[in-house]
Amino acid sequence: MWCKTCNRETNNEKCEYCGNITEHDIPLEVFWCKECNAPIIKYANDIDKDSCPSCHATTSYLCADLRPVFPEERLLFEIIQGKPLAYMNNSVWAANNRIYIDGKPFTITKKFYSKLTPEEIYEQLEKYKNQNSYSSFNDNIAKFIELNRSRLHYIIDEAYRFIKEASASYPNERIVISFSGGKDSTVTADLTVRALNDPSLVHIFGNTTLEFPMTMEYADRFRKNNPKAIFKTAINREQDFYAMCEDIGPPARMLRWCCSMFKTGPITRVLNNLYRDKAILTFYGIRKSESVSRSKYNRIEDNAEAIKIQKQKVASPIFLWKDIDIWLYILGEKIDFNDAYRLGYDRVGCWCCPNNNDRAQFLARIYMPEQYDKWHTFLVNFARRIGKPDAEEYIDSGAWKARQGGNGVEAAQDVKIRYTNCTAEDNAKVYQLNSPIDDSFIELFIPFGRIAPELGRKLINETIVVDLKTNVPILSIQPFAQEGYEYSVKVKTMNVAKHDDLQRMVGYQIKKYNACRRCLKCESLCRFGAISIARGTYHINDSKCKRCKMCVTAKYLEGGCMMEKYLKTKI
């Protein structure tokens, strides 16, 4: 156990000195050896952390984590500094907004990126790229691997044990590797294949249609270099990212509707096609140190509230690894990787993700100018449309990334449930609909019980839903003419103890009918594969639905529909 406050090890759940809750993981630290001119990875409680394992010189603390700066990124840094190729023979590393040259830190501020225009930088990159050399870089990496060889062996052995234990109850045919084309999923894939000694495992690549060009190149290369792997690509060909942005607004840090629509949703479809209703184990490249939210995950997770695709249990072999561990493995084991990291990207998800930092945006302006200009123009026009007084400042400052809800977006009206209480019948509400009642609307009530149209009054087109266990009617659904509503439906609850609870869940389904943008979240939520979006319409398969009611429970689906989160407005 480790107390972060007192920076000390203890055997107790609570620190004896300060009283704070302790952590299970001993933190890693990076030290620098001036003699070897390379970083060394140590635990905070290591007795010999101040000594180099090779030359035995005294080392000094450098930082909590570190990544190598490849020659391409180093040249970019030199050009902005006005010193092309100046550090070609130095050992250059980076952590957050700092560059370390032979262990000496240089802080990179936001102003640093504005010294030259992207066009000027690109011109100089082209001018000097043939003179740029990997010779010293390779020597420095070789020394780094030598100094941390024992660490490399340890993390490999520990990951192998974890993978074998996690997969012990699953046949290899039901083991999946989630492959994004990033460094973490690359390492996870390599570890899993080696640990299980099976190169034919299923790899699923989620092509969000917003990938870096280099990610697509790497995915193709990975497929060719691993011919025995079952490599599946998950892609949403039915939706267009820009069209959705026009409709519901661009994604923001807290409003990443794109993840469900273009990543987890398409992956769910591939899994459903491959495995139907079978339980699977998926190895993910998730790491605790990546974000606050991921630090709360478990290394093995099957909690319905925590995982995005319900039919799977997820396991993370590299959960406790730092960036420097990832690069130690990639470079030490000589694994191919995404070339975007050579340019200076520290993450390679969607190139326009609102979670990208200033450096990633800066790099996009240099290496993807056409895509960047198109995206920037769209964002500025969107800001004007929702009434921002200084649209360009709102976008360029990054304030758009903090946007919450659907204020100023016309589609926000669709998540508002409009109803009136029926004056003629108790426990009945008349809901406004955006379109006429059809078969897909009636299907939305399958999670509540058995659809029994034969019990309804045919004269008024009534449909009855009966409880599966008791065969007693619990819902009456009928088209209704209500003043002020172009389309409406009357829903009455019957023979239940809590009418309000059932009506609330009915309201969730009404919201789906009015606001569904085919985000595919519901497909991912249903572990039985009962929910599907076909030809633009939401369907529930009666024979597959187990009536678990997860799709109408706010605990799993806020407001009954993901659009509630993305489009709700402040009053």
Give the pLDDT confidence of 126-179 residue by residue, as tens digits.
999 999 999 999 999 999 999 999 999 999 999 999 999 999 999 999 999 999
Pair (181, 67) in one structural domain = no
Q: Is residue 368 part of a domain?
A: no
Range of 502's domain?
A: 411-567
* Helical H segments across 170-264, by residue range: 183-196, 213-225, 241-248, 257-259
DSSP label at residue 264: I
pLDDT at 1: 61
Q: Is 90 left (phi over 0), alpha (psi -120 to 50) or beta?
A: beta
Pair (101, 29) in one structural domain = yes
pLDDT at 15: 76
User: How do residues 403-428 score in pLDDT, each as one tens digit?
Assistant: 988 999 999 999 999 999 998 999 99
CA distance 137 to 126: 20
User: How do residues 244-299 score in pLDDT, each as one tens digit?
Assistant: 999 999 999 999 999 999 999 999 999 999 998 888 999 999 998 886 666 677 89
Q: Is residue 143 part of a domain?
A: no
Query: Are 304 and 556 a contacting pair, CB within 8 Å?
Result: yes
Q: Which two structure tokens, joined as six digits, stand for 524? A: 């991912």
pLDDT at 63: 96
Q: How confident is the model at residue 343 (pLDDT cuts 50, 70, 90)?
A: very high
CA distance 506 to 568: 18
pLDDT at 6: 72
CA distance 42 to 367: 36
The percentage of the chain sitting over the pLDDT mark of 90, rounded to a whole number, equals 85
Phi, psi of 533 (to 5 degrees): -110, 115
Q: Which two structure tokens, joined as six digits, stand for 159? A: 């990951």
DSSP label at residue 365: H
Q: Is residue 486 part of a domain?
A: yes
Q: Which two structure tokens, joined as six digits, stand for 378? A: 């769209």
> What is the pTM assigned to this prediction?
0.90
For residue 216, the domain's CATH number is: 3.40.50.620
pLDDT at 307: 66
Q: Is residue 135 part of a domain?
A: no
Q: Which of 97, 114, 131 is the last residue of a domain?
A: 114
What is the residue-averaged pLDDT of the chain? 93
Pair (166, 96) in one structural domain = no
Give me the number of domains the chain comprises: 3
User: How do residues 22-35 score in pLDDT, each as one tens digit?
Assistant: 676 788 999 999 99
Q: Return the half-sphere exposure (C-beta side, CA atoms, 13 A cut-off) of residue 416.
A: 12
CB neighbours of 239 closer than 8 A, spacing ≥ 6?
Answer: 261, 262, 518
Q: Is residue 313 part of a domain?
A: yes
pLDDT at 304: 55
Cα–Cα nearest to 235, from 199, 201, 211: 211
Q: Is residue 51 part of a domain?
A: yes
Pair (177, 101) in one structural domain = no
pLDDT at 480: 94
Q: Which of 114, 136, 156 is the last residue of a domain?
A: 114
- For 525-554, give one letter per residue: b (16+ CB within 10 A) or e: bbbbbbbbbeeeebbbeeeebeebebbbee
Q: Which two structure tokens, joined as six digits, stand for 65? A: 């984590």
Pair (185, 71) in one structural domain = no
Pair (438, 558) in one structural domain = yes
Q: Is residue 152 part of a domain?
A: yes
Pair (289, 174) in one structural domain = yes
Pair (438, 520) in one structural domain = yes
Query: Are 429 and 491 a contacting pair, CB within 8 Å?
Result: yes
Q: Which two structure tokens, joined as six digits, stand for 115? A: 């010294």
Query: Are 66 and 39 a contacting pair, CB within 8 Å?
Result: yes
Q: Which of 342, 358, 393 is the last residue of a domain?
A: 342
Pair (336, 417) in one structural domain = no
pLDDT at 16: 76
Q: How confident is the model at residue 401 (pLDDT cuts 50, 70, 90)?
A: very high
Query: Are 134 and 89 a contacting pair, CB within 8 Å?
Result: no
With vertex at residue 534, the alpha carbon angle to CA 529 and CA 539, rounded to the nearest 5 degrees, is: 55
CA distance 110 to 358: 7
CB neighbours of 450 closer than 8 A, spacing ≥ 6?
Answer: 465, 466, 468, 471, 542
Average pLDDT over residues 485-511: 96
Pair (335, 237) in one structural domain = yes
Q: Is residue 435 part of a domain?
A: yes
Q: How confident is the model at residue 462 (pLDDT cuts 50, 70, 90)?
A: very high
Amino acid identity for residue 115 in this structure: K
Pair (463, 554) in one structural domain = yes
Pair (160, 53) in one structural domain = no
Q: How confident is the model at residue 463 (pLDDT cuts 50, 70, 90)?
A: very high
